[in-house]
Amino acid sequence: MSAVLIVDDEESLREMLTVALRRDGHDVLTAGSGKEALSLLAENDQIQVMLTDMRMDGLTGLQLIEQCQKEFPQVVSIIMTAFAEWDSAVSAMRCGAYNFIRKPFDNDVVRSMINRALNAWDQRQMNSESGDQEDHIHIIGSSSVIQELQKMIEQVSTTDATILITGESGTGKELCAHAVHYHSLRSDGPFVRINSGALTETLLESELFGHKKGAFTGAIDDRPGMFELANGGTLFLDEVGELSLNTQVKLLRVLESGEYMPVGGREVQHCDVRVVAATNRNLQEMVKAGSFREDLYYRLAIISMELAPLRDRNEDIPLLAGHLLKRHAVRLRRGVGNFTKDAMSALQRYNWPGNIRELDNRIQRGVALTEDGDIQIESLFGDLDTTVTGMWRSLSSSHALRKHSDPDGALERLPDNSVEAMCERIRQGESIDLEAECMNTERQLVKAALEATDFNMTEAAKKLGISFRQMRYKVKALGLR
């Protein structure tokens, strides 16, 4: 029998929920305050789900969830909130709450949410017992924005919150959605993708909700929609800003109740799907303009992730470029080893208006035009004459200046990446690649820590003053394992 804890300072609400949940066979405990709830959690290790109100005297619902995550992390928490407390509900989700229920609510909504939370608890237990901590999808990069993104994905993985991913075209929104799915409690379920901007309104509704035979011309059979196909898993709704207002209403209903009606159908269908939406449009401006529903926006943006353009994190380019080079070299059967120094400098100086998608295309071009050896700058940017000429002049003048300012080769006697050598080169008027040099230095320090501890990552992390998780990430990102 499952054990559910209801926390609310309103006795009548506790009694109503107790009756509703006991009808489903749940063992229900109640608490009138956060302090009482913590005492019950300490006394009863069978509690699986906690349903708590946001506003209470003493400990608030948010404070209770934060404390519960520290002391009883196995408990799946759900928060009850009024629409006006939206920001607090979002904070609760970020702290690890599984989901939220907006007041006033229907008992059926609560019962459905409790059942989903119990399934999530079962999945947590299976993952814990199997020790399955493998990262299925790895977002490549060592910049601070990528580290924050990885941290965010880990934080929301145990929740069932809808997620809105924003960012310019080509920044990797679908990859981020894949990462959310494969780090979540739904990783064993399907991951289904649909592009909202590629279909007409009628066709999109048929694709999302399915249709019944005879619903329209050409509907010769019943056909399941994406919500049915994604049941138990994740639906990635790309270009959500392209939805019509009519479709927005139907999507909102699914998000709030898990109910939808197939096109031409008469019976309500139910689904258990987590939605991850993405857009390169400003939905808040669309809300102000009246072209996007405010209630749908808040439902989608429980957790928001904004992906930075590649030009704002060019320190990640060497890692991304190396990863893409390896993949395309295998696919195109080319004996390409690496990039020349000039080519890598060009990659890091380019503005990348098309972001990672453009980087992928450029490297694929470079691999295709290189039989063997290292990729040259012309192979990458040969079709951009003006840009390439500027890059070549900059690079060539840099090499010439170094030879002219150091005729005796004094700088060559120092390690090329030593701080003293780099400082002297700057004093002599030469430019350096700060991001690349910092990454190289970091790699040497991490490698030294590993070698000093016989590759014990826990001990190596202590030597560097970072967490084990950060150490594991850096080892992967810097290519040390």
Which whole number is the average pLDDT over 303-313?
A: 91
Least confident range from 5-9, 152-156, 228-232, 309-313: namely 152-156
Q: Are strands 303-306 and 335-339 parallel, antiparallel or unpaired?
A: unpaired
Confidence band (pLDDT; 50, 70, 90) for 135?
Answer: very low
**Comparison of pLDDT for 171 and 383, the residue scoring more:** 171
> Has residue 139 got a pLDDT over 50?
yes
Least confident range from 25-39, 128-142, 310-324, 373-387: namely 128-142
pTM of the complete model beyond 0.75: no
> Has residue 21 got a pLDDT over 80?
yes
Which whole number is the average pLDDT over 288-311?
A: 93
Least confident range from 85-89, 143-147, 433-437: namely 85-89
pLDDT tens digits, 417-467: 466 677 777 877 778 777 777 878 888 888 888 888 888 888 888 888 888
If phi over 0 gives left and psi between -120 and 50 gives alpha, with beta otherwise, what is residue 442?
alpha
> Has residue 7 got a pLDDT over 90?
yes
> Has residue 166 got a pLDDT over 80?
yes
Confidence band (pLDDT; 50, 70, 90) for 17?
Answer: very high
Taking the CA atoms of 345, 347, 348 and 353 in sequence, report the sign of the dihedral they define. positive
Minimal CA–CA distance to 362: which of 65, 351, 125?
351
Mean pLDDT, the chain, as a whole number?
A: 82
Minimal CA–CA distance to 245: which of 211, 294, 199?
294
pLDDT tens digits, 191-224: 999 998 888 888 899 999 998 887 777 777 888 8
How far is residue 336 CA from its own chain's centroid?
Answer: 32
**What pLDDT, on the 0 to 100 scale, is given for residue 474?**
82
Are the CB atoms for 368 and 334 separated by under 8 Å? yes
Domains of the chain (ranges, CATH numbers) = 3-130 (3.40.50.2300), 144-308 (3.40.50.300), 312-414 (1.10.8.60), 433-481 (1.10.10.60)
**What pLDDT, on the 0 to 100 scale, is given for residue 401?**
35
Confidence band (pLDDT; 50, 70, 90) for 395?
Answer: very low
pLDDT tens digits, 333-391: 888 878 898 888 889 888 898 999 999 999 999 999 998 888 999 899 887 754 444 44
Cα distances (angstroms) measured from residue 145 to each of 139, 306, 315, 321, 449: 11, 10, 11, 18, 24
Sequential DSSP letters for 121-163: HHHHHHHHHHT----SS-----SHHHHHHHHHHHHHTTS---E
**CA 467 to CA 455: how far, in whole Å?**
15
**What pLDDT, on the 0 to 100 scale, is given for residue 6?**
95
Q: Are strands 76-81 and 47-53 parallel, antiparallel or unpaired?
A: parallel
The total number of residues shown for the chain amounts to 481
Q: Are strands 269-270 and 259-260 parallel, antiparallel or unpaired?
A: antiparallel
Which whole number is the average pLDDT over 289-303?
A: 93
Least confident range from 62-76, 171-185, 433-447: namely 433-447
**What pLDDT, on the 0 to 100 scale, is given for residue 40?**
94
Supply 111's token pair: 């019962």
**What pLDDT, on the 0 to 100 scale, is given for residue 275?**
95
Confidence band (pLDDT; 50, 70, 90) for 128?
Answer: low
Cα distances (angstroms) measured from residue 401 to each of 138, 332, 385: 41, 38, 24
For tokens 């990528």, the residue is: 146
Are the CB atoms for 432 and 425 separated by under 8 Å? yes
Sequential DSSP letters for 262-296: -BT--S-EE---EEEEEESS-HHHHHHHTSS-HHH
Are the CB atoms for 302 and 91 separated by under 8 Å? no
- Cβ neighbours around 417 below 10 Å, total: 13
**What pLDDT, on the 0 to 100 scale, is given for residue 413?**
36
Least confident range from 168-182, 183-197, 433-447: namely 433-447
